[in-house]
Amino acid sequence: MINIHMSDCLFCKIVEGKIPARCVYNDDTVMAFLDIQPVSRGHLLIIPKRHSADLLDMNAEDLQCVFVAVQSIGRAVELTTGADGFNLIVNKGEAAGQVIFHTHIHIIPRFIGDGLRHWPKIEIEDEQLDELAIRIKDSLK
């Protein structure tokens, strides 16, 4: 069951107005605000107002509303900052770097020559890739 708010959740406190944030978007379901530890100028977070621990914990309605907001907010961020593009990042779980366990989507504006790097590649044999693809397909059934 998804809780509306959790008392110890930083982002729930922002939604409730108990912690200030530089809010750029706010409707009945979604809120977006500037990240206090930005990677680039205009880096912001988009969250569902209803508490969910991570992307897999969200209900379908909130998921849809968040990603509709991502599209318009992403466009506004590019326009406002003059960014050449942006990264859309969702950290799911501690191993992926999730620190606050309330679903949040990062929009990180990117600029040609900004020095930010993509993650490194790993080498995987073709046979292993084929097997992995089959196993993932089977898990979706």
Q: What are phi and psi of 68, to 5 degrees?
A: -65, -40
Active site residue 43: no
Q: How big is the chain, counted in residues?
A: 141
Rounded-to-integer distance, Cα 50 and Cα 47, Å: 9
Q: Answer yes or no: are the C-beta atoms of 34 and 22 closer than 8 Å.
A: yes
Angstrom CA distances, 133 to 4, 120, 126, 128, 136, stand at: 36, 21, 11, 9, 5
Q: Which of 43, 51, 102, 104 is catalytic?
A: 104
Angstrom CA distances, 49 to 32, 38, 118, 119, 139, stand at: 10, 21, 30, 30, 30
Q: What residues are labeled active site? A: 104
